[in-house]
Structures are given as structure tokens and as C-alpha cells.
Structure 1
Amino acid sequence: MRRPTPIKPGPGQESVWDYPRPPRLETSTASIQVVLGGVTIASTTRSWRVLETSHPPTYYLPREAFVDGSLREAEGSSFCEWKGRADYVDVVGGQQVAPRAAWTYLRPTGGFADLAGTIALMPAAMDRCVVDGEVVVPQEGGFYGGWITSNVVGPFKGSKNSWGW
């Protein structure tokens, strides 16, 4: 499949087509809140973004950003060619459980060492994820954990017919 035509970013925006491959890791001071089951389960102004060509950023939050009892180990793992082995985590908020809706790299590869033990979430499985006051739009497709805000433009991997990008 042919690469799609990138949307031209406006002032203050980033194009996911300017993100590198292999991906880049950067720190973020954005204010982030995560709500599940009507409860704010995470809040931080210290996180990391993974930026990869054609993908909206995936945010990784420190474990201490989460309220006690909101994370529990789950069965299963997967492998990322860039970051290594990911272990799954169930997310709990109020009376709601989002099974395997988060993941962590306990021993990530060298370039992603700062992610060790941090938590990434599937925004579609949460009530809402918020970055600097803006509610995130989940990346399409159910496989990727990208967080779409108004400051990133696509088109984004995960949408229909994007498999070959």
C-alpha cells in the first residue's frame, strides 16, 4: 500500500509523519489525568511520549501516578521490536475493570530504559484520558495505544486500510 498524504500541521501542531522510525522517546510535562469507572485513577505532570512515524504519541506514566489498587498484573505479554517484552496490566477504577488495557516494559531495550516500570494505557478502554485539559481521542484499530489530541495530525496508523503503511 502506498504511503498516505500527510496532513499539513498548523501552528502549534505536529505531524505524525515527521516522527522517526525507529521511534523516539521524549519526556513530557503535560498535565495528564486518567479516569475509569468514574474515578480519577492517575494524575501526573511527568510522563514520557513514544513518537513513531504514522502513530499518535503513546504516553507512559510513572507507577506512582496511579492510585493504589488501580493496577494489577495480568496474564500475557507481547514483544516490540524497539522496546522489548511488554507485560500486560489490568486497570481498575471504581467498580470497573479494563482487562489487559495497560502494559509495561520491566526491562526495556537500551534506548527506552527510561520506560522501565512505567505504564501505558489504551485510551479506548478508559472513561477518558486527558492531556493539558483536552480529552484524548483513542487511536483507531484496537491494537495501538496512541493518544490523539488537537496538536497532532495524521492520517494515523490503525485506521481502516492502514495495515501496509
Structure 2
Amino acid sequence: MGLSWQQGPLSAGAIGHFLTPEPLPRRLLFAERLRRRMRVQYAGTWIADSENVLVLHEPGRYPVAHFPREDVDPQVLVASDKVTHHKDLGDTTWYAVRAGDRTTERAAWEYTALPGHAAELRGHIAFAWRAMDAFYEEDERILGHAADAYHRIDIRSTSRALEVRLGDTVIARSGHPVVLYESGFAPRWYVPRADIDETRLRAVEGQTFCPYKGLCDYYDIGDARRAAWSYRDAYDEVGRIGGMVSFEPDQVEIRLDGKRLEPEPGQMVVAHGVDRDLAADEADEADEADEAGSR
């Protein structure tokens, strides 16, 4: 997803590689100005408002917005004695956020011992996503995480023949699916409901959220858990897949023009809920898992 998440070029699971004579460092961080007005709401008030937000892309993490301190209400940050250490960016000082009669501990952070090559982040404050009421770009709320400018979705119509089976049972057969290409992921094939035996789909509890497509519903098929999904109210930008259904090739048999689709790099998705807490140290466990997996 974009630069640093899932199979993006700066992630640990990148499916491509940089064509350089020498190997790059295992971890590459990338920061740039957002070039959009971004605001943060907490306890019903605006506590940050900036046109100079820096977005930090870090391997294994969603993009994180960092606000210049001068664009943050100085009354809302309450110093704490909590200091952690970031493996690339040094000491991390944590703050509670307070407005009115509401206080949230460890809701904001600042890198206070930055190395010289990361000096542009000096004096910037980041806010834990779920600790805030909402983040906005101009007057539109942004859900999930800060938008990744390098994330792209393209949807194409096709006349290729697609068939979905579970054992000997045909679940779907279509001559006009659509294919969704999304940064860092393998193609996803979506089937019109008219081409699906919907009696085979059993809706399950629990939704996930994509900041680029919307809320996602899931279905079991026989004993195959969460083998299909649908964005019933897909965002306008991807409205062509709204209500259509896609299927997991590791759960059911999917054939495209007679050739079976197999899971491939970029196919598996790390799903998350409607929103998620973006604490500064949340990547540590993922990094440790990556290191353990490489041994």
C-alpha cells in the first residue's frame, strides 16, 4: 500500500527491488510535506491546523502526519515523563492531550533527539489516530490513517471468463468481471452479484475498513472462512466495485480463462478495523517479527 506498507517499495515485504549496485539499508524512512491543509479535532475543538504537515513513511507502518509545533494549540499538550527510543529517530517524548474536561494519556509524541539527517522532523508533533476525534483534509474527514499520496487504484472492465468453485460446487461464473489494481497488491477480481449463487454466501460479523475503498463486509462459503468480501457502499472514487464480490484464491478455487489463480506476493492483506491506533512504537513488534522470520 503506497510506499511503506504491505508490499510497497519501502516495506520489508517489497515485491520489487531497487536497481542499485550496492544493497540499500534494510530500513529506509521517507518524509515529505503533505501539501494539503490538515486539521485535528479533539474534545469538539480544533487542536491542530496546518498547511505544512510532514508525512513520515516508515517500513511496516501506515503514513503518519507530523504537525509543526507552531500549528498546534500549545494548551493541549501536557508533558509526561514517558520517553521511548525509536531505532532510527532517537528519543521519543510523549504527551497527554487535554482539552476541556477531557484528557488522553500518551496521545501525542515528538522526536526530541533526531539525527542530523532527519532534522526536518524537529519541532513536529504527531497524534495517535484513535485518540483524536477526527482528522480532516480541508473540510473532509480522513479515516484510517493519513492519506498516502503514492497509493493508486485503477479499475478495468474485462470480458475474460472467471469461475469460482468450492469443490464441485460453482459459486460464481462471469464473462464480465472487473479487475482492481491497487498499489502493492496483486490484482483483485470482482464479480457482479447477478453472476453469483448468493445462497452459497453466508454473511459473517465483523467489518474492516480501507481508507481508499470504504467499509468491507465478509462472507463464509461452506467451510471456507471469510472466503469472499464486498464493499457494498464503496467510495465514489471506486464506485464501480460497489456491491460486487471478490474471492480469496487460497480459500476457494478461482479460474481465469481456465487457468487457476494462486496466491502470490501482494495477495494477502493485513486487515484492520474501522480505525486504528497509530502509536509511535507500534511497528516494533512487526519489526521483531520480520527479524525473527529472516533468521
Global fold match (TM > 0.5): yes
Question: Higher relative CO (CA 8 A, sep ≥ 6), structure 1 or 2?
Answer: 1
Equivalent residue in structure 2 for 1:18, among 8, 18, 26: 8
- How far the C-alpha of 1:128 sits from its partner, in A, is 0.8
TM-score by length of 2: 0.43
- What's 2:262 paired with? none
CA distance in 2, matches of 1:107, 1:49: 19
Q: 1:54 Cα deviation (Å)?
A: 2.9
Cα offset, 1:19, TM superposition:
4.7
2:69 pairs with one of 63, 70, 76: 63
Deviation at 1:134, TM superposition (A): 3.4
Partner of 2:121: 115
8 Å CA contact 2:91–2:111 kept in 1: the answer is yes
Deviations along 1:41-92, one digit per CA (max 9) or x if unpaired, are 1100101111123321111101111123111211211111110000111112
Moved more, 19-28 or 54-63: 19-28
Correspondence for 2:205 = none
* 2:211 corresponds to: none
Secondary structure class of the residue paired with 2:73 = coil
TM-score, normalization: structure 1?
0.74
Q: What is the CA–CA distance in structure 2 between the aligned matches of 1:90 and 1:69, rounded to whole Å?
A: 11
CA distance in structure 2 between the aligned counterparts of 1:39 and 1:94, rounded to whole angstroms = 9
Note if 1:79 corresponds to 2:75. no
Q: 2: distance between equivalents of 1:65 and 1:74?
A: 21
1:89 aligns with 2:79: no
Distance in 1 separating the partners of 2:61 and 2:271: 6
Candidates 27, 44, 53, aligned match of 2:33 = 27
The one-letter amino acid paired with 1:122 is: A
Cα displacement string for residues 99-145 of structure 1 (whole angstroms, at most 9, x for unaligned residues): 111111122112211111210110110111123523231xxxxxxxx
- Partner Cα distance (2:272, 2:114) in 1: 24
Instruction: Work out the number of aligned pairs and report it.
Output: 142
| C-alpha displacement of 1:27 | 1.8
**Alpha-carbon distance in structure 2 between the residues aligned to 1:115 and 1:38:** 28
Partner of 1:10: none
- Residue 266 of structure 2 aligns with which residue? none
- Preserved CA contact (<8 Å) 1:70 1:93: yes
The range that moved more, 48-57 or 18-27, is 18-27
1:156/1:112 CA distance change after superposition, 3 Å: farther
**Kept in 1: contact 2:90–2:112 (CA 8 A):** no
State the alpha-carbon separation in 2 of the partners of residues 110 and 18 from structure 1. Answer: 26
Alignment of 1:105 onto 2:105 = no
Match of 2:142 in 1: 135
51-60 or 126-135, which moves further after superposition?
126-135
State the identity %: 21
